[in-house]
Chain A
């Protein structure tokens, strides 16, 4: 579904990604790990269409289509979802209004009929339960005054509402206590199907105890330097990133 070929990206003249190659197929769960500053979040944001980045080289296709040419909204409508590392607070825009607009725009694009008010509320109730989101959060402004855990659960709630094909979860585990982490993970697991795929961008292995990846990639200095099965995550947890850094730095010199 997603093919990344030799992707080079810079921001403000600084090269961040230096030749990423990655292929993701339906039904798969990928974890992208790596030390701080390795380019993990950049990759996630570039895929979602954030405009601050410059694509220097390479291509990305999503179901065969050039992803990088699409606006952020069209990427979302085609089934790409980014769970933000730092969900944005939007005072004055209610969660209900926000989600109703989003769901209906996405449905319109996919040629599905608009939901009636009652259908929409029913859908919202269902999906809220999935991540144990307080009902009153729905009537509040988007992320305004939400705790860290509520914000992350709210991201997964939105994911559930929009039914994406490819979900990229950017550091969804950071700042979560263990209970919230379990809730978020069980939400993600419940949404998993043979038709969709998940990319977990994370620094820590802990999330991978709850969402088991098929592949683990290590991103370092803008490149994927190691790919293996889930056992790689345990190795990283045990030994840290230093051994990989050492290995690579030795290769370079």
Chain B
């Protein structure tokens, strides 16, 4: 059996189509019908929409066509890695006791240890869960994903084989956060697909920390889709720390459906990466639900980070807060497009959205597009965006106290993004991220991981 298949003479859409059609059996193998049955429509949807480019309204600021140029390996089957990652990646968040699991090139790492979990809780491979608990998984799989509306979602659904599956039954509080070390490592340029599905039951609580890393100096495109169901009165935290090298494209789509009185926080820190696109759709589908959606990005070089959010208030009395802050240096570019949609009859909605940006150089560029669509009449909503440079008055004040210009700028940038980090509901993680951000600003990011691999992003060409 072939473990990987390589795409040839790449012309993106045709090539992906050709790849799928000539290896269909490989893509269907091991997956249950409910995963395979949707691939046909996903293929049609993908072909019709093509690779996202600036012609698409939703991708106005991010052209993904260059990202898909070239030849890639894809992983329709699990490829074992000869390294024992678990011994390398002991939890490196001090004072934070976590469950640690690894995913590699989109797949659940088969050498993950069994976790000591409360009865009924499942944390493991999606492919395995789909085989062992087909009814449970089928009930949720793809139900939020509209392949006809987004080509990345279509492409993910077309090629999805594995990823992380989490099921927390009703009334279970998992206090210890789950840390997912999400690795990309290959000998050739690679395209990986990851499909995650999380279900947090009624009155249950779960915190997930996703850390994205690249471990070899190859070009990586990862297309990750995470579908999350947060049931009545559940609390769910989802922290994403994105730290990939400059030759990577980190494409993420997250869909969240919240039931009544549930509470979530999504907090994404884009610390490093070539091209990062974060699609986030939140559906507040029960009264008194609360969604806190935050993000920071720190870019330099020619990096590009695009956050696209869509928060739907479908029911009355829900609250949403969005705060995205970006610091852009050198020739980096960024975008924020955020949309709040208050549906008819979703009265007493409270929805806020704010996007603040600091440009550190004359060549950095940010596009920001806050959008508010309100179809109810008794709501409290606001949105705003700012683009600025570093506050020269504050800079002079700090320097007048003996602090060097460089250090003063670091203090100010750090203070700027700290507002977002301060929202994190796991204190040690908050401290750890402060530390990572500080190191990132100082250009020391690669040294901060207990990692034997030399993947200093600055040295990559």
Contact = CB atoms under 8 A, between A and B. Distances in A.
Contacts of B393: 88
A84 B401 CA distance: 11
B397 A88 contact: yes
Nearest to A159: B401
A92 B419 contact: yes
Interface stretch (A2-10, A21-29, A94-102, A204-212): A94-102
Interface string A57-92: 000000000000001110111000110100110111
Contacts of B391: 88, 90
B411 interface: yes
A84 B418 CA distance: 26
Given A73-B405, A105-B407, A48 B412 contact: no
A72 B416 contact: no
A93 B412 contact: yes
Contact of A72 (B394, B396, B414, B418): B396
Given A73-B403, A93-B411, A98 B398 contact: yes
A142 B391 CA distance: 14
A144 B1 CA distance: 65
Which among B394, B403, B418 has the greatest number of chain A C-beta atoms within 10 A?
B403
Instruction: Determine chain B's interface SS by DSSP, over half rule.
Output: helix
B405 A71 contact: yes
A50 interface: yes
Contacts of B394: 88, 90
A92 B415 contact: yes
B400 interface: yes
A109 B397 contact: no
A50 to B, nearest CB: 6
Contacts of A73: 399-405, 408
Contacts of A48: 400
A214 B367 CA distance: 58
B403 A102 contact: yes
B397 A102 contact: no
Nearest to A84: B397
B405 A98 contact: no
B415 A90 contact: yes
12 contacts: A48-B400, A71-B399, A72-B399, A76-B401, A88-B391, A88-B394, A93-B412, A93-B415, A98-B411, A141-B415, A158-B401, A162-B401
Interface of B: 391, 393-394, 396-405, 407-408, 411-412, 414-416, 418-419
3 shortest interchain CB distances as A-B pairs: A92-B415, A76-B402, A106-B402
